[in-house]
Amino acid sequence: MDWEIIFVILLLILALTSFIMEKIPPDLTALSVFAILILAQGVTHSTLLPSLPDMFQVFTNSAPITIGAMFILSAAVQNCGVVDTLSALLEKVAKVGYTGFLLIMMLLIAGISGFVNNTPVVVILLPVIITLARKIDQPASKLLIPLSYASILGGTCTLIGTSTNILASSIITEQGQEPIRMFELAKVGLPLLGVGIVYLVIFGKKLLPVRETLTTMLSEDQRKEFLTEVFVKPDGEIIGQKIKEAGLDGKRGIRVLEIIRHGVSLFGDIRSTPLEAGDRLILKCRPSGVAEARGMKGVDLVSEAGGLEQITTDEGTMVEGVVAPNSELVGRSIREINFRQRFRTVVMAVHRQGRNISQKLRSINLRPGDTLLMLGTQDAIENLRSSADILLLDKPQTPAVSLRRKLPVVLCVLAGIIICSSFNLMPIAGSTIIGVAILFLTGCMKPKEGYAAVDWGLLILIYGMLVLGTALQKSGATDLVANSLSGLARVLPFEDGYISAILMLAVCYLVTAILTELLSNNATVVVMTPIAIGLAMSLEVDPRPFIIATCIAASASFSTPIGYQTNTYVYSVGGYRFGDFIKIGLPLALIYFIGSMYLIPKVWSF
């Protein structure tokens, strides 16, 4: 075995480990893989590793451009009121009860997710579903997992329903295979969609857990908080004392949230910072602590700057918000953002992957899908609603500008892309670029807004993994894996080649499904698609069934909350535990596997 194969396989294992451990963002992992391969080629000049021109050839791949364009199109659909219309429709059907509402909700979500990016759809609908859950007298946890699953089920039915399908189609086209047609996957996706919805409607109420969100975990007294600002007097007896020494450590219903000195919020551990004259303290008080704060020695409610600025005490409002997918806050700490000054609210806790984080909040880096429990005045909360970085969950977001009159243009663009792809009139990359240009020229979306809607981190991830995929093929690692799997088929006690092909199809599906539950689905499809084609070639059968199985398995992420971004969002917002997804999702994943193994060979023969 050549050292290049060992090197590339080790690099793949390191990348997969990094994806699972999540110590660094997935896009940075992919970028690092790209850099390592460039360095390795520069040092060794190996003919079995991709050359620099080979590596940079991935930038000619049309899939990332198409995926970026679909992000822009999805944002335009959202801006023109499609999601708002869907919200109003869901509100009307809330009267039919839990089972009926669940059925209609999943059908509607699956339908729209077949043609637009499902992540923003799920994120925007989160506060809608939470609000409607109260109307049908059900905890939100009974609806949020079905919301995510419905978006996944719908996305598997079309070429543009999920980025993995677009990416797989581009990869197989480069390898001489026919691209995936617009509704080709629907031959399997639609029957599985129907079975999946029936399963959730029948067993959902029993299997879905009852979980509490961050605010419902608080007692009634804990929700009644007040924000008070005080100044340290020039001759105050607490000068030079630390917060605990000054009696502000929470034992008297008072907690110091922030110390502002000379107009600047202090960094570091404020509990160990000696107080100085003129320090402005932001206090969080229980109702019993408000009077206590007013009567404290050494502080004043009137500014020392001429005694003119009256410091007010406002009743605080607790609200939950989720960090948006393309938020500017991602990767930055609460301290770095200067959250209190920027949003005039205080982060009390962060809910991430089934656990609440309330210690060292100012130093943790925020991630997409983090749920923040924030405390602020009513005015500050209302101002926060207009932020594109945090989506508040207490009630649906109201768009600042209505673009409903542009909806016909957006729908015509979407229809044009579908028609061009369905009848092979133009490659999907070309039709999506034309569509985006039309959206910009007609004012459906400003170019700046469109570019901001693109998940650039995902595109970096795709490019990095495409380079790794090139290295796997160039070094011979892909052929090694494919030949090893086909060799396994030959030693099985089956003389019938059809049975061997079915067994290898099942292996291909299961490996892809397991990887996608642990990694990014896009990273999985880049690694597994060439292996699936190589496996079919080594078995001397048509690669199409293996390609379709890889596409379905790469999207069918139900058993963990980390395999698909929509699962990650509802995981935090719904207060779920990791095991909740296994309990409800693993049977669905098995149904998908059995259904795929039955349908795929019947539609696409070996």
- From residue 583, alpha-carbon distances to 111, 207, 269, 355, 432 in Å are 26, 7, 42, 18, 39
Which residue reads 């039915």 in tokens? 157
Instruction: Inform me whether the pLDDT recorded for 264 exceeds 80.
Output: no
- pLDDT in the model for residue 317: 72
- pLDDT in the model for residue 464: 94
| C-alpha closest to that of 12 among 525, 479, 469 | 469
Both 149 and 203 in a single domain? yes
Question: CA 506: distance to chain centroid?
Answer: 28
Q: Which residue has the higher pLDDT, 296 or 15?
A: 15
Please report the DSSP string for 482-546 in residue order. HHHHHHHHHHSS---HHHHHHHHHHHHHHHHHHHHHHS-HHHHHHHHHHHHHHHHHHHTS-SHHH
The lowest-confidence range among 227-236, 407-416, 438-447, 574-583 is 227-236
Both 275 and 152 in a single domain? no
pLDDT band at 213 (very low <50, low <70, confident <90, very high): low
Q: How far apart are CA 157 and CA 186, in angstroms?
A: 4
Which residue reads 């059908």 in tokens? 107
Instruction: Inform me whether the pLDDT recorded for 336 exceeds 80.
Output: yes
Q: Does any domain span residue 541?
A: no
Q: Which residue has the higher pLDDT, 243 or 557?
A: 557
Instruction: Inform me whether the pLDDT recorded for 241 exceeds 80.
Output: yes
Both 72 and 209 in a single domain? yes
CA triple 183-186-188, angle to 5 deg: 145
Ranges 17-21, 116-120, 285-289, 511-515, most confident: 511-515
Both 370 and 411 in a single domain? no
Q: How far apart are CA 408 and CA 414, in angstroms?
A: 10
Instruction: Inform me whether the pLDDT recorded for 253 exceeds 90.
Output: no
Q: Are 145 and 196 in contact (CB under 8 A)?
A: no
Both 190 and 231 in a single domain? no
Q: Which of 440, 455, 470 is the last residue of a domain?
A: 455
- Convert the pLDDT of each residue in 3-60 to its tens digit: 999 999 999 999 989 988 878 888 999 999 999 999 999 999 999 999 999 999 999 9
The lowest-confidence range among 51-55, 135-139, 428-432, 549-553 is 135-139
- pLDDT in the model for residue 196: 96
Q: Does any domain span residue 179?
A: yes
Both 121 and 198 in a single domain? yes
Q: Residue 478 corresponds to which amino acid?
A: T
Q: Which of 311, 343, 374 is the last residue of a domain?
A: 311
Q: Which of 392, 415, 436 is the last residue of a domain?
A: 392
Q: How far apart are CA 488 and CA 598, in angstroms?
A: 22
3-state SS, residue 61: coil
- Give the CATH number of the domain where residue 377 resides: 3.30.70.1450
Instruction: Inform me whether the pLDDT recorded for 221 exceeds 70.
Output: no
Range of the domain at 204: 68-213+405-455
Outline where 323-398 has alpha helix (H).
Answer: 334-337, 339-343, 378-384
- Convert the pLDDT of each residue in 416-474 to its tens digit: 999 998 888 899 999 999 999 999 999 988 999 999 889 899 999 999 999 999 999 99
Number of domains in the chain: 3
Instruction: Inform me whether the pLDDT recorded for 303 exceeds 50.
Output: no
Both 352 and 297 in a single domain? no
Q: Residue 517 corresponds to which amino acid?
A: E
Instruction: Inform me whether the pLDDT recorded for 293 exceeds 80.
Output: no
Both 298 and 237 in a single domain? yes
Q: Are 323 and 330 in contact (CB under 8 A)?
A: yes
Please report the DSSP string for 156-215 in residue order. TTSTTSSHHHHHHHHHHHHTTPPPPPTTTTHHHHHHHHHHHHHHHHHHHHHHS-----TG
Residue 368, C-beta contacts closer than 8 angstroms, at least 6 positions apart: 323, 324, 325, 327, 330, 565, 568, 569
Q: Does any domain span residue 467?
A: no
Q: How far apart are CA 365 and CA 330, in angstroms?
A: 7
Both 227 and 135 in a single domain? no
Both 209 and 252 in a single domain? no
| Average pLDDT value for residue range 592-599 | 96
- pLDDT in the model for residue 306: 41
- From residue 228, alpha-carbon distances to 257, 284, 299, 312 in Å are 10, 6, 12, 6
- pLDDT in the model for residue 123: 85
Which residue reads 């991709």 in tokens? 50
- Convert the pLDDT of each residue in 475-505 to its tens digit: 999 988 888 887 776 666 555 667 888 999 9
Instruction: Inform me whether the pLDDT recorded for 102 exceeds 80.
Output: yes
Q: Does any domain span residue 582?
A: no
Q: Which residue has the higher pLDDT, 281 or 402?
A: 281
| C-alpha closest to that of 562 among 596, 594, 511, 523 | 523
CA triple 103-106-111, angle to 5 deg: 125
Both 189 and 84 in a single domain? yes
| pLDDT, mean over the chain | 85
Range list of β-strands (E), 13-119: none
Q: Does any domain span residue 335?
A: yes
Phi and psi of 230, rounded to 5°?
Answer: -135, 155
Q: Does any domain span residue 225?
A: yes
Q: Any bridge partners for residue 333, and if so which?
A: 365
Ranges 159-168, 223-232, 261-270, 329-338, most confident: 159-168
Both 111 and 184 in a single domain? yes
Q: Does any domain span residue 127?
A: yes
Q: Are 432 and 454 in contact (CB under 8 A)?
A: no
- pLDDT in the model for residue 248: 72
pLDDT band at 308 (very low <50, low <70, confident <90, very high): very low
Question: CA 553: distance to chain centroid?
Answer: 18
| Average pLDDT value for residue range 522-539 | 92
Instruction: Inform me whether the pLDDT recorded for 313 exceeds 60.
Output: no
| Average pLDDT value for residue range 264-275 | 78
Q: Are strands 345-352 and 264-265 parallel, antiparallel or unpaired?
A: unpaired
Which structure tokens are listed for 452? 């901001």
Handedness of CA 526, 528, 529, 530 (dihedral sign): positive
- From residue 207, alpha-carbon distances to 132, 443, 583 in Å are 20, 46, 7
Give per-residue burial for 374-397: e unless 16+ CB within 10 Å, then b. bbbbeebbeebbebebbbbbeebb
Q: How far apart are CA 285 and CA 252, in angstroms?
A: 9
Instruction: Inform me whether the pLDDT recorded for 240 exceeds 50.
Output: yes
Helix (H) and strand (E) counts in the chain: 25, 10
